[in-house]
Amino acid sequence: MPGRDQSIGKKQMTRVKVLILRSSGTNCDNETAFAFNEAGANPSLVHIGELIRGKESLSNYQIVVIPGGFTYGDDVSAGKVLANELRLRLYNDLEKFIAEGGLILGICNGFQVLVKAGVLPGPLNNPQSLITLASNDSGRFECRWVHLTVNPESRCVFTRGIEHLYLPSAHAEGKVIVNPGLLSSLDVVLKYTDEKGNKTPGYPYNPNGSTDNIAGICDVTGRIFALMPHPERYIRETQHPQWMRRITDGYGDGFQIFLNAVQWAQRL
């Protein structure tokens, strides 16, 4: 994959600390920790309660990740309860973390949380964001691999050097709905495509019916990024459904996202 620098060893990256946020219903935290560990970082699984009680602090980390799952059962709507905890209990901490240049990554449920907390598309807690995520058009949970095209004009630091991705997705509420007035100013990082790169592929290539086939967005700084597919589930080539038929360098498409984040965070 273009942009991957395999000459950078893990010893050079161990200072980068990654907070992987957990709550009831989180279920992709260990996979995300593995991905960052493979990229040379030092990941820690931290429960939201530890941050609220002051036992942990965002200021101790360079990267914060909200991984996939079904936080609090998605009982109100996907990611809404955890989003409220971030917005109402940790607003000042988040604001400071962002202002000091920290990176934030939201994967699947993390995308839902960041949008509903007002972190994305930004600025933090902007009541005029006019974006949300809703139930898939199919009316059911969609679990399938998807083709993605990376916007070369995006500011996103996580996707630098990447042109295309093939990643697994698994969600019931992944439809990105954007007010038409916001669409032109939104930094769309990823779009669903078919295997030929067609950006208007229709179902099932777009598994949820997202506006403009949006699969991932970032803020104006490029440091806060969220996507519905799961890069942490394709770190090694052997995780590809046809891995025995392919000749590659041993890494899966998702790995570069984590490596890019760690390399960027080394500057902080």
Catalytic residues: 108, 230, 232
In 3D space, the residue among 96, 121, 119 whose CA is nearest the CA of residue 218 turns out to be 121
In 3D space, the residue among 207, 237, 235 whose CA is nearest the CA of residue 140 turns out to be 207
In 3D space, the residue among 224, 49, 31 whose CA is nearest the CA of residue 124 turns out to be 224
**DSSP type of residue 65:** E
From the centroid of its chain, how far is CA 227?
Answer: 4
In 3D space, the residue among 228, 219, 213 whose CA is nearest the CA of residue 185 turns out to be 219
What is the DSSP annotation of 133-175? EE--TTSS-EEEEEEEEE-TT---STTTT--EEEEEEEESS-E
